[in-house]
Amino acid sequence: MLRSATVRLRAKLPSRYLSIFAIAGLAAFALTRNSLRAQSAAQPDRQPSQHWAYRLPVRRPPLPAVRNVAWVRTPIDRFVLARLDKEGLGPSPQAPLDTLINP
């Protein structure tokens, strides 16, 4: 029913007008946006700087001990290698340069 109405509308209107589906999508976006604004207005005492994303980490985690220290290049590598050791796995060998270059 709605599709046939859209087809009839498109036949009558030039292509520069929006379809019913586009208008409905814009209306839903506006309603959602207004509801989010109302929710944020209901909490005026909460500052954006109190959000978890804006807080500094409490402390850096200690670097785990690993068996293959020669493989480690960055501190993150220690965490990856520690997990591989825990699972009983090891790092893959380094790929040759011609494999890494994508033609």
pLDDT in tens, 7-22: 555 555 555 677 787 8
pLDDT score for 77: 94
Q: Say what percent of the chain tops pLDDT 90.
A: 24
Residue 14 lies in a domain: yes
Q: Are 35 and 66 members of one domain? A: no
pLDDT score for 87: 94
Q: Where are the alpha helices (DSSP H) in the chain?
A: 2-12, 20-41, 75-86, 97-100
Q: Are 66 and 38 members of one domain? A: no
Residue 84 lies in a domain: yes
75 lies in which domain range?
62-91
Q: Are 8 and 37 members of one domain? A: yes
Which pLDDT tens digit goes with each residue over 38-69?
666 656 566 667 777 888 777 888 999 999 89
Residues in contact with 81: Cβ distance below 8 Å, sequence separation at least 6, in sequence order: 66, 67, 68, 71, 72, 91
**CA pair distance 48, 36, nearest whole angstrom:** 15
Which pLDDT tens digit goes with each residue over 25-39?
877 887 777 676 666
pLDDT score for 40: 64
The letter for the amino acid at 66 is V
Residue 53 lies in a domain: no
Do the beta carbons of residue 32 and residue 51 sit within 8 Å? no
Number of domains within the chain: 2
Q: Say what percent of the chain tops pLDDT 70.
A: 68
Distances 58 to 46, 52, 55, 61, 82 between C-alpha atoms, Å: 21, 11, 9, 9, 22
Q: Are 38 and 9 members of one domain? A: yes
* Mean pLDDT estimate for the chain: 78
